[in-house]
Amino acid sequence: MSDELQARIAEAIANPRNLGEMQEADAVGTVGSADCGDMLRMWVKFREQDGRKVIDRATFQTFGCETAIAVASVATELISGKTVEEALSLSGEELAAPLGALPPMKIHCAQLVEGALRSALVPGEEAPAPAPQAAPTLLEQLQAGTAADAGGAPRARIVLKPRP
């Protein structure tokens, strides 16, 4: 990994944008990686702009590596103001573009962000935001082993394990 990329990731980790649950979200998506055990959830709020429905803002929570956190941070800024179609057209690498090119071993970290975004935005997978205080947190779901996507179906078997 280049020094420049490492510096940008460190900067994003030190000051992550749009981190945390969004109570008033219009859509929520969760995805987990069976490969590394990491997990990411994204909340999206829409607004009308010039007769189009665009993403007003997005937030995230993750049990993921630093790269996933950094990509989610820049991606939530990148998709603001985009339509659903425009956001869905972005690959994981494009969502990570503000950080610079990721090494091959870190591409899946960006794909985790892309997956959570798709889970939130793909028709049929949209779901109303959980009621404030009523919904379990991502941590509670992980601890209970009930983490699922917006449609209620398990996205992946989540295996939490210490990272080397």
By annotation, the residues acting in catalysis are: 36, 109
- Angle, helix 66-78 to helix 107-121, in steps of 10 degrees: 50
We find the least distance from the C-beta atom of residue 2 to ligand FES, in angstroms, to be 17
28/112 with CB nearer ligand FES: 112
We find the least distance from the C-beta atom of residue 6 to ligand FES, in angstroms, to be 14
35/85 with CB nearer ligand FES: 35
33/73 with CB nearer ligand FES: 33
Residues that bind ligand FES (CB under 6 A): 33, 36, 38, 64-65, 67-68, 109, 112
We find the least distance from the C-beta atom of residue 28 to ligand FES, in angstroms, to be 19
